[in-house]
Amino acid sequence: MKFPSKVARAAGSGASVPVECCQICGSGKLDSVLSLGYMPPVNQMVPIGAVPHQQPWFPTNLLHCRECDLVQLGLAVDPVIIFPPEYPYTSGTTKLLRDNFADLQRESAELLGLTAQDLVVDIGSNDGTLLSNFKNAGYRVLGIEPTDVGKIANTRGIPTIQRYFGPDVAREVAREHGYATVVTAANCFAHIEDVHGIVDGIVAMLKDDGVFISESHYLIPLLDTLQYDTVYHEHLRYYSLASLKRLLEMHELEVFHARPIPSHGGSIRVYAARRGTHTVQASVERMLAAEPRGPAMSERLTQFRRDVVLSKLRLMAMLREIKENGARIAGISAPSRASTMINYVGLDEGIIDYVCEIAGSLKIGKCLPGTGIPVVDEAKLFEDQPDCAVIFSWHIADELAPKLRAKGFRGELITPLPVPRKV
């Protein structure tokens, strides 16, 4: 198998490199899908009140590969810029994610018949939330996480190597901990730029019949619910099952089960193993058959671009009307995706007074990237009672809205996507 040799590599550049050929198949036939303009890195948050200083902004364009249908970012940014050691995201904070990882453990243990000696390795293990489920169920676990969040996992008793994952780390794991029965990569498999190196590394530490389970944002619900706000420089690739399958097959891995899961507004969980070691389930063909391919995908992406532009104009029109009536607007939660929406739509501290995060969030005390909008403890919302609040983590609005009401928020709640509306 010949892997693309021209693929963009930003690591070590201290800057960014344009994506000029497909990250999976190497084809140069890349069509432009959507441009969101220039964006600041979502995790570079300046402390409230700090003197504004120079910051990098990067072009944010989506491309579609005509050859393998992968939708991908048009720019690779050096990981030291997008995953700084002070990376403020912890995965243990939302109930939906905690429930999902518990489900992943139950489903995989049942499907694969795991036993207590089995080693489970999680790539991009964050604060150890995913692995804690496997640890509690009695398996050996090991996390790999490049940022300081890995220290939280270690203090919680989840052994974690604080390194960027690659073939070297994989060989070290196999040597020192033995081969893994299960390797998981949840919400990071689309983030790491050298995707062929990652899959090689995964194969190198898997037992002969070991299983690789990935969870990634899924392109189809992303298009269906206009989640352009999940486009930022951490997310290099937006997988369909067809494009994922093609990637894994380049490394002799066969997809044997796949299903949609609710994480991050619509994700896909995919099971793969060395060819012929596991029975391929009907779920694979079923999901593939429902995905647009080739010219149908191009057409779907054109419609997506038109709808995204309209959604920006509609949200602005709604907020304009609120401001014309003299009302005050706050924001609820500051996930990374809030940065894309705020910068693409053009919201600033003149429009949104502040954004709330629950107590304990590492983002409190900082400003949303590219703006002077402060992130504050949500206690302020209940004291201050602004007239309305935009829910930036709108994909979990059903979980959030009742909680905000129960805690006493009386203003109007707005979800900005897929269609701006009051809830």
CB of 15 to Zn ion, least distance (A): 24
Residue 25 in contact with Zn ion, rule: CB under 5 A = yes
Residue 8 in contact with Zn ion, rule: CB under 5 A = no
Q: How many residues bind Zn ion (CB under 5 A)?
A: 8
Binding-site string for Zn ion from residue 152 to residue 191, where x marks contact by CB under 5 A and - marks none = ----------------------------------------
CB of 415 to Zn ion, least distance (A): 34
The binder of Zn ion chosen from 10, 22, 42, 202 (CB under 5 A): 22
Nearer Cβ to Zn ion (67/291): 67
Per-residue CA distances from 132 to 92, 145, 187, 267, 310 (Å): 10, 15, 17, 21, 42
Residue 229 neighbours by CB distance under 10 Å: 28
Nearer Cβ to Zn ion (25/131): 25
Nearer Cβ to Zn ion (28/276): 28
Residue 324 neighbours by CB distance under 10 Å: 8
The binder of Zn ion chosen from 27, 93, 162, 302 (CB under 5 A): 27
Binding-site string for Zn ion from residue 58 to residue 97, where x marks contact by CB under 5 A and - marks none = -------x-xx-x---------------------------
Q: CA nearest 265: which of 327, 222, 235?
A: 222
Q: Are 410 and 385 in contact (CB under 8 A)?
A: yes
Q: Are 400 and 93 in contact (CB under 8 A)?
A: no
Nearer Cβ to Zn ion (19/413): 19
Residue 88 in tokens? 């403020």
Q: Are 41 and 343 in contact (CB under 8 A)?
A: no
CB of 299 to Zn ion, least distance (A): 18
Nearer Cβ to Zn ion (19/42): 19
CA trace torsion 236, 80, 127, 168 (10° rounding): 80
Per-residue CA distances from 14 to 75, 110, 166 (Å): 13, 44, 19
Contacting positions for Zn ion (CB under 5 A): 22, 24-25, 27, 65, 67-68, 70
